[in-house]
């Protein structure tokens, strides 16, 4: 007999109700009240996690599943974002949250990033400086996640700027992997249609021995 996740959850509730009717246990009664209050993302996610754990006692790490194609992931639903952050924290990622809800221009981005990431006082508040200071974080932090909330605000202020920020993070993530560390970014947006393509694209390079065209004879 195969049960869906929701069917298994209802079966558990049914069993607990029978147990409570038999024992009148205050602890079980309290648990039933918590489980019967309607949709609770935390309870739902915990239940799904338990099922996955039983099905696969050695699951693939969240970071491997999330960042298999890109080191930057978009989110719309905060519940899904929170679930991913909890899993990354369990993998010892250091989480930095940067909320753009009150940003009025790109300088607000620079001010918040410099403060939250503790950039040096000489931070130039431009994208070149952002790139340089971000690269200096490694390898002091082995696992680092930059979490942007309400990123659609920055996209509306200056879409190209918002794309350049993520492009820099994607490029720096590749550099971090070469150092045995990992930089990633989880980007929450209230605009469900927001999309960024070809981040971190690089040209294919000739090897150092054949860098000059004359040496390829």
Residue 217 pLDDT > 90: no
Residue 196: its pLDDT value, please?
Answer: 92
Query: Considering the entire predicted model, what is its pTM?
Result: 0.69
- pLDDT, tens digit (0-9, with 9 covering 90-100), for 62-75: 787 888 888 999 99
pLDDT digits (tens, 9 = 90+) for 85-130: 998 998 899 999 999 999 999 999 999 999 999 999 999 999 999 9
Considering just the CA atoms, what is the radius of gyration of the chain in Å? Answer: 23
Rounded to whole angstroms, how far apart are CA atoms 74 and 28?
Answer: 39
For 138-155, what is the mean pLDDT? 88
Q: What is the pLDDT of residue 50?
A: 77
Give me the percent of the chain exceeding a pLDDT of 90: 46
Distances (CA, A) of 208 to 175, 177, 204: 19, 21, 12
Q: Which two tokens stand for residue 33?
A: 């009240």
* Cα dihedral 60, 66, 68, 74 in deg (nearest 10): 170
- Which pLDDT belongs to residue 150? 98
In CATH, 62-188 is 3.30.370.10: yes
103 backbone dihedrals φ, ψ, rounded to 5°: -70, 135
Question: Which tops the pLDDT comparison, 35 or 30?
Answer: 30
- Residue 109 has φ and ψ, to the nearest 5°, of -60, -50
Residue 209 pLDDT: 74
């Amino acid at each position: 007999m195969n049960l869906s996740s929701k069917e298994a959850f209802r079966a558990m509730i049914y069993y607990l109700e029978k147990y409570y009717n038999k024992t009148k246990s205050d602890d079980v009664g309290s648990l039933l009240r918590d489980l019967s209050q309607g949709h609770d993302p935390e309870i739902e996610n915990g239940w799904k996690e338990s099922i996955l754990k039983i099905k696969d006692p050695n699951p693939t790490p969240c970071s491997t599943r999330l960042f298999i194609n890109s080191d930057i992931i978009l989110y719309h639903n905060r519940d899904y974002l929170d679930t991913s952050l909890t899993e990354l924290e369990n993998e010892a990622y250091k989480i930095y949250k940067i909320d753009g809800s009150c940003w009025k221009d790109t300088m607000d981005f620079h001010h918040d990033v410099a403060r939250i990431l503790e950039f040096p006082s000489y931070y130039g508040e431009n994208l070149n400086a952002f790139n340089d200071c971000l690269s200096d974080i490694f390898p002091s932090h082995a696992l680092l996640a930059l979490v942007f909330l309400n990123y659609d605000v920055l996209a509306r202020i200056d879409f190209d700027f918002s794309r350049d920020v993520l492009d820099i993070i994607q490029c720096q993530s590749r550099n971090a992997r070469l150092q045995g560390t990992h930089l990633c970014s989880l980007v929450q947006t209230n605009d469900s249609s927001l999309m960024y393509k070809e981040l971190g694209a690089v040209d294919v390079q000739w090897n150092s021995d054949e860098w000059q065209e004359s040496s390829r004879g």
